[in-house]
Chain A
């Protein structure tokens, strides 16, 4: 067992304390449903924004697509649980095992393509698209009748207290995987574009998702999503433990990834793409990795949000909303996990909590005048964001001590 270092202990202890305090406030009823909702919302937004920080802050790809993936995750996991609680495991099988199948096919295809250099990105994209369609089609035709009853039987045998969280967990994972698959397909051709063009393309993506969500019951074959009328009847399963646990896991994943060789490769792409390529880094790979991972976070956050408000409307995923994570990430400091987490909660608590409640009645919408003013002041006075690149000790790269004196000093350059 590795010896735990001090910052890790402090971080875990501090997190646990925050968790217990808020859990206590919720259990004792000090926080009413409204404030509970605000905090859960803050958690979901924070996870979405952490994903954006990975894409924009650490990998340097300006993206407005986060809300598109957030929407896909929200609708995807809500659709799964909606049908599950009504006794139909088909959606779960397709979203979970279908996604796994498609990811497996991706891995096989990537392995098969790895020695073919002439294949253009558009050709690759076509292959992956065909495989995606085939994979999901196969899962509907083959996996649903095969695994559906089995899965249903398995969960029916479990006690309710175990089955329900497990179903929720699988639904969140499904939402994340669906968002990840979409982002992979979308990112493959589009990440080749330069940063600004990529931003516009992702904006287009968010608009497409919103339009498709408006028409889920007409163009798309998902009647339960009810298109522009909004999806009702999602079970309320999100609790503070779920929000906190997901956030914690996301932070730890990001921290561990960024302070590894993989993370350094991702950051080097932000620093100088050409130079990164010419020290032997597969830039396209690093970009798509960051993009997909960031989108998976957004998808999972969408699942959490959907099972908290229990009602989804396409308007919540309008492209105007997709600027929110961008504002938060810049406000908190690009490339700072600490800043994102702090600002994510601050943003929702301030905008939807404090300002909405404490502005005199009839003037609530003035909060949309106040926050742009705060933004303006911020950009003028502290353009690097609240935290700049500051990180809590736990989230920083480990300090590397100078090497011990060695018996044989290596030959040095003549200077």
Chain B
């Protein structure tokens, strides 16, 4: 499955744009973390965002998901302007993300971790919950059913009542992705998903990314340091350094771009290839 040719990349321009960042600039105090950043994500794409440490990749993710509010520029999801919206609303619109270091609700059960993601769509209010109305019972059963179905897809169903923090690392990563996908987002943002994984686990992760992308009809934006992973699964790449885009294009083009080699890929590309 590794590095399979991606027939999706044909007719790229004809697919509808789902996420568009235009001239996004962000300051931390006087430090310009992101400068005039542009990015266009089309339906179904798998795009990589790479760059050396401190280049501003995670800041871009945080700007998209509303953790920070962009100082300038616009971020549009379909026709909605995201700048200024609170995080939870952005997530509820259909953008999901994972974290560099796994952030599960580690004292809660595996099932509850997934069920929490359905909270915005719970369909009952506090009063229903306190009085245990029929609506509560129906919606709660429905929610549990959906969450369990999800855990089955991700092969976590046998551990649904386990405490999330007790799972091994690989399963925690998988649970985090399951939680992010539980509300059926249209865009999935993965922040260094392969961090701390061995080569075998990375292969599994690549298969997992391919699988969820087709199963859930996702657009995926990926930040990753592992060149092998990025080069083999991304359709095209954007390279950042010091908060600016220094190159973009197909993986092979990027690999040979002298600016990129200078900033970042030089050593690693030689080592990996």
Contact = CB atoms under 8 A, between A and B. Distances in A.
B88 A260 contact: no
Contacts of A407: none
A282 B161 CA distance: 25
A280 B97 CA distance: 11
A274 B152 CA distance: 27
Contact of B180 (A256, A268, A279): A279
B115 A261 contact: yes
Interface residues of B, number: 64
Contacts of B124: 260-261
B99 A275 contact: yes
Nearest to B85: A117
A411 B120 contact: no
Nearest to A258: B129
A281 B116 contact: yes
Nearest to B94: A280
Given A278-B91, A280-B119, A282-B88, A414 B130 contact: no
A56 to B, nearest CB: 15
Given A256-B132, A280-B183, A271 B108 contact: yes
Contacts of B236: none
A281 B119 contact: yes
B105 A272 contact: yes
Contacts of B103: 272, 274-275
Contact of A411 (B111, B158, B215): B215
B153 interface: yes
A408 to B, nearest CB: 11
B152 A257 contact: no
A283 B157 contact: no
A350 to B, nearest CB: 30
A277 interface: yes
A399 B144 CA distance: 11
Interface string B194-223: 000000000010011001100100000000
Contact of A2 (B99, B137, B161): B137
Contacts of A156: none
Given A261-B119, A264-B119, A278-B67, 4 more contacts: A263-B129, A278-B87, A278-B97, A415-B204
12 contacts: A256-B130, A257-B130, A260-B126, A261-B140, A268-B105, A276-B116, A277-B87, A278-B65, A279-B183, A280-B88, A411-B215, A413-B211
Closest 10 CB pairs of A and B: A260-B129, A271-B105, A261-B122, A280-B91, A275-B103, A414-B207, A277-B87, A403-B148, A280-B120, A280-B92
Interface of A: 2, 117-118, 253, 256-257, 260-265, 267-268, 271-272, 274-283, 289, 397, 399-400, 402-403, 409-415
